[in-house]
Amino acid sequence: MKIRTYIIAVLAAILSFSGCNFLEAPPSTDLNEDKVFSDRTLCERFITGIYAEGMPLGFSMNSDNIDRGLCATSTRAGACDEGEAGASWDKANASWNTDNHNNDSIDWDEDPRHDTRWATIRKCNTLLERIDEVPYDPGDPEFNSRAKGEGYFMRAISFWEGVYRYGGLPIVDHRITGSEDAKYPRNTFSECIDFIVKDCDEAAKLLPDRYTNPAFVGRATRIAALALKSRVLLYAASPLFNTATPYLSLGVENNKIIGYGNYDAERWKKAADAAKEAIDAAEAAGYALYDKGTPETNYEYVWTTPDNCEIILANKKYRNFSTNTKPITSNIPQWAGSSWSDGGLFAPLNFVKKYEKKDGTEQEWLMSGGDDLLKKYSELDPRFAQTIAYQGAVWNDEIGKLDFLEGGAHQVAYDKTRHLVRKWVPRTLKATYPHNSVNMDWIVFRMAELYLNYAEAVNEFQGPTAEAVAAVSKVRNRSGMPAFPSTLTKSQFREKLRNERAVELAYEDHRFWDIRRWMIAENEGVMQGKFYGLQISRIEGSSEVHYKPYVFENRLWSRRSYLHPIKQLEVDKGYLIQNPGWE
């Protein structure tokens, strides 16, 4: 009981920072901190708390404010061309797709960890400064050095979660004391990237490649630190940041807050080198693309089977998915569209069209419609059936074959597309209420991303080399898809690689951000313009189904949304510059 009381006191005190600004030092916690860092068990729990509030999570958990995401849907898919949220009140529909933002709503519109992030960074700084005070334990002699590595990693990923959303932010690399003013201005984007990369490198020096103790699986490793570094440098090299001409100007003096202020191709080389370093280290440590099943099962196995060989790091905060997990249960066909499930998440035709045929050519979707819908589905990339629930597909033994036709067992009012997202819903999850519990982890890093990171960066720096083609081929081949043609130009490879990322990393909270870093949000049908669903109907005397594309929505977008606004209540305090377009 004493241990629990101490840890609750520490967390509560450190989280209490409702003073002058969100960087301000909390009330004195010296006594409570002394207790934590004089006891290994208390310190372990303190670190666990950092993971709980700092590790990225794509699932939207309505019961917890810092994990609410975009409310009813998961992975921010409904706010881009990946998805359409069934619930009209979902933030994707009520905010993003109508361009209905303001300077004080971003913590509700997308970033619920806006304030907590700074508390997490403060805890990381406290851990890094005081970890050496924890008494040596011969039963776990590596505890102190490993904990320091975890502190560097969690500070890096927590700060990064802010930087790619807002651009340059204040770098706080120490515990702020009560005597400090704490009104730090925004650092340049370049300074922030350098700071994060340095933390990744420090973490990599101290962390193991993987854990043999199952109780530690899900904590930071050297491979996770290298994977984070790869992602950070890939984003930093991308058009949104690696440019002399920002999406909107903050003025010559301040443009380096929202990007580098110049273009440098060497940044792509750094991204390629970082991805290669991560791949080599991961492969040497035994990580690999999962390919022990068939093209029809490999992809699904990766996200339904915790701790498989492909997963580098996963958030295990909500392992026991059951009745209270709306992103999971709302996409069961029997519940999608009901008031209980908040409508579910559906895939617009805009996204379905990204799935190639099994021979690697584009599928033809006639805007005038056709009588061969089921044939078209059967011809698609095997990842389609493992990601999207469609007319005639078998969900599982309990539900059976899906019927989205008018009057069909699974046709619901909220379904504008006739494609229900099935990814993240294990086939073993019961449709009947109460649902059975299943173990499911949110994937933070996996091997496929590293190969795609490498292929993209190499192409941007050198063009479609054999190495770039081979990297993306690994990902495609395990799902039975052919390699890219060897005749592609740099721009052609870029477009196909971007499509490949959309398909392979679908609904894993990549697309929403890839769109921004590539600066393609204003392209027709990506974040704005016409979004299509299918009208489907029976064909008398035939087992086939007639389809007709139709526009269910015209979405809106503003260039200011390439970066989130700094909350106006912070800007009004006079020490932070607002992002362009939000003044």
**Residue 358: pLDDT over 70:** yes
Q: Say if pTM beats, i.e. exceeds, 0.85.
A: yes
Q: Which residue has the higher pLDDT, 371 or 18?
A: 371
Identify the pLDDT of residue 19. Answer: 37
Identify the pLDDT of residue 80. Answer: 95
- Tens of pLDDT, residues 313-343: 999 887 655 544 555 667 778 666 554 455 7
- Tens of pLDDT, residues 1-57: 333 333 333 333 333 333 345 565 555 444 488 999 999 999 999 999 999 999 998
Q: Report residue 265 as tokens.
A: 């191709």
Long-range CB contacts (< 8 A, 24+ apart) of 433-437?
433/323, 434/322, 434/323, 435/322, 435/323, 435/329, 435/332, 436/322, 437/320, 437/321, 437/322
CB 232 within 8 A of CB 562: no
Return the H-helix or E-strand segment holding 74.
none
Longest CA span, the chain: 81
User: Mean per-residue pLDDT for 87-97?
Assistant: 83
Identify the pLDDT of residue 6. Answer: 34
User: Mean per-residue pLDDT for 76-84?
Assistant: 93
Identify the pLDDT of residue 340. Answer: 46
- Tens of pLDDT, residues 215-227: 899 999 999 999 9
**Residue 306: pLDDT over 70:** yes
User: Mean per-residue pLDDT for 130-151?
Assistant: 94
- Tens of pLDDT, residues 376-432: 999 999 999 999 999 999 999 889 999 999 999 998 888 999 999 999 888 888 887
Confidence of residue 577 (pLDDT cuts 50, 70, 90): very high
Cα distance between residue 77 and residue 100, in whole Å: 17
User: Mean per-residue pLDDT for 371-376?
Assistant: 98
Least confident of 113-117, 129-133, 234-238, 255-259: 113-117
User: Mean per-residue pLDDT for 303-312?
Assistant: 95
Please state, in angstroms and as integers, the Cα–Cα distance from residue 60 to each residue in 71, 333, 429, 445, following that order.
Answer: 6, 19, 18, 18
**Whole-number mean pLDDT of the chain?**
90
User: Mean per-residue pLDDT for 160-167?
Assistant: 98
Q: For residue 246, which of 576, 559, 455 has the smallest C-alpha distance?
A: 559
User: Mean per-residue pLDDT for 57-68?
Assistant: 74
